[in-house]
Structure 1
């Protein structure tokens, strides 16, 4: 995460008050920008032949958007609804528009789009401008009924039909806008300006909204694809590393499963891993997140450190999907019949 955004979570007392004028100016810019899009002075593109569903947050840093995107895709697929994903692809080396395939280098796709594609096998397109990604997705897969936008709650250049805001246990922090606090937009004001559903991905929701369950899977996955039960790892010497928004949460979940970690390494979200990051783990089997495995498993050469990815089992409460289906049904009923969906 950007150091400025990291500081936003920590700001309190004198530092927050010092940054308050900057946060006030930021809030003014946010309101002006929204007004310009709303009045059509800034171009905003609408795709009338597909439902656009945006998953995002109003706080800086990760809050569980990608696990929710994958859960949404699995739900839509189970309902017989043809869905695809668009993303900007944070950390990509190129801004061009491309389809993420199993063999796409992660530096071209971004780690989260690569993970979404591999886990769900749904069409995933990345582009600097999300509207370009939507156009490419629909051109390649014209039967798509729902486009899920991974992040982009503040990307008003793409109009949307449904907005889902995601929060973790940090809630809205001190409630102030960047850089005095963690908020990209005012909350709860943003709730009244288009957000349809609020989902909490942590264990202690700070305010009203749907809840979810998250726990580690019962099995870890090796680079060659074979699975091993977490219980069988208890006799091994273990280490763990993570380049996600909250590495310590991952380490705590491993320990809660009875695993003893001799060494841990917390790295910034979307970290570009190299063999040097595995230095100091000699003699240990190293556990990582499924997202980090996208990069770690692709490291060249023989680094000599056994790696295992531990997937996350994430599931919103059933009432969340009931509410989402109620929003989707009338939108899907208006789509051309060429789209693959059921309106049950």
Structure 2
């Protein structure tokens, strides 16, 4: 097992020996995070505002909270209300350091896998870049009619002025008293950071019951999101959907996932009645080519991995779509917070 896997397992099931080794480093990390936060609160950071409202959807965890599906769902809700909305993102894992406004020919190497997936899922303008304010300006330069910008991640990117903060928190961490900051735990900021956000979304939760008591935030609106599984579609022909007759007698199935929590993907396939002879795991955001795919009659991959593959696509590759269902209506609450009137 690799070092990062050992540490990530420790975050979920703390090891007393690792706790003793890593705790001093977490205290140093906490001081750095607090100093950065204080600069933001004191107004000493240069934070010019974008000319349209900015909504940050982020988390205090180091990935794997289900944030991106929630971003996609929120953006689609705005779009369905007739609001012209765009997305900005860092574009983690891409090779270029230049700001890139996505187009129909953009690749994962240029944009990063998650921004490209969001662009294809939602059909809204997307731009990526390390400096979010400059990235937002670049997006508006190409799409000057945008009315809202959603920042996918960026809760800790304090040089981006924001109008609304939404924090995504995994239901699996509710009630835990052993959460800690990096590297002893998986938090980028302490739980107290949630006192300042406008909305909290509990991911993979049926309801936000008892969340207010855990966070001790009786006034902060708390929402819940559930991942809904769609029907797999053939990568080279998205109009063709998977059904029981797709699997002929004697054929086998395999799956590949390069995401933070791959077991969720494999379980979703199992819930659909798809029996896997092989489950291959790649690191989150890892590059992917056709040569990495398992050898099987039918290979299933995530939407995030699908955007990394280039045509021509093999006919045996299927993509499992997912989407987040948020309760109650988060988009409406955000618009009310902004005093934004949809057309």
TM-score, structure 1 normalization: 0.87
CA distance in structure 2 between the partners assigned to 1:294 and 1:224 by the alignment: 14
Partner of 2:116 in structure 1? 114
CA distance in structure 2 between the partners assigned to 1:6 and 1:87 by the alignment: 24
**Does the 8 A contact of 2:234 with 2:315 survive in 1?**
no
CA distance in structure 2 between the partners assigned to 1:151 and 1:131 by the alignment: 13
Root-mean-square deviation (Å): 2.3
Mapping 1:86-235, distance limit 5 Å: 86-171=88-173, 174-187=178-191, 189-193=192-196, 195-203=197-205, 207-208=211-212, 209-235=222-248
Partner of 1:311 in structure 2? 321
Unaligned 5+ runs, structure 2: 213-221
Give the C-alpha shift of residue 97 in structure 1: 0.9
Alignment of 1:26 onto 2:36: no
SS at match of 1:211: strand
Give the C-alpha shift of residue 138 in structure 1: 1.5
Give the C-alpha shift of residue 323 in structure 1: 2.5
Q: 2:266 aligns with which of 244, 251, 266?
A: 251
SS at match of 2:151: strand
CA distance in structure 2 between the partners assigned to 1:25 and 1:88 by the alignment: 25
CA distance in structure 2 between the partners assigned to 1:142 and 1:274 by the alignment: 36
SS at match of 1:210: strand
Give the C-alpha shift of residue 305 in structure 1: 7.0
Unaligned 5+ runs, structure 1: 334-340
**Could you list the per-position Cα deviations for residues 97-138 of structure 1 after superposition, in whole angstroms to 9, with x for gaps in the alignment?**
111112112101111111111111101011111111111112
Partner of 1:294 in structure 2? 307
**Could you list the per-position Cα deviations for residues 211-242 of structure 1 after superposition, in whole angstroms to 9, with x for gaps in the alignment?**
12212102423223332134344544211110
TM-score, structure 2 normalization: 0.87
Q: 2:337 aligns with which of 309, 322, 327?
A: 327
Partner of 2:219 in structure 1? none
CA distance in structure 2 between the partners assigned to 1:324 and 1:121 by the alignment: 21
Partner of 1:15 in structure 2? 18
**Does the 8 A contact of 2:235 with 2:315 survive in 1?**
no
CA distance in structure 2 between the partners assigned to 1:283 and 1:127 by the alignment: 38
Give the C-alpha shift of residue 275 in structure 1: 3.5
CA distance in structure 1 between the partners assigned to 2:98 and 2:243 by the alignment: 40
Does the C-alpha gap of structure 1 residues 164 and 8 become closer, same or farther in structure 2, counting only changes over 3 Å? farther
SS at match of 1:226: strand
Does the C-alpha gap of structure 1 residues 93 and 271 become closer, same or farther in structure 2, counting only changes over 3 Å? same
SS at match of 2:337: helix
Partner of 2:292 in structure 1? 277
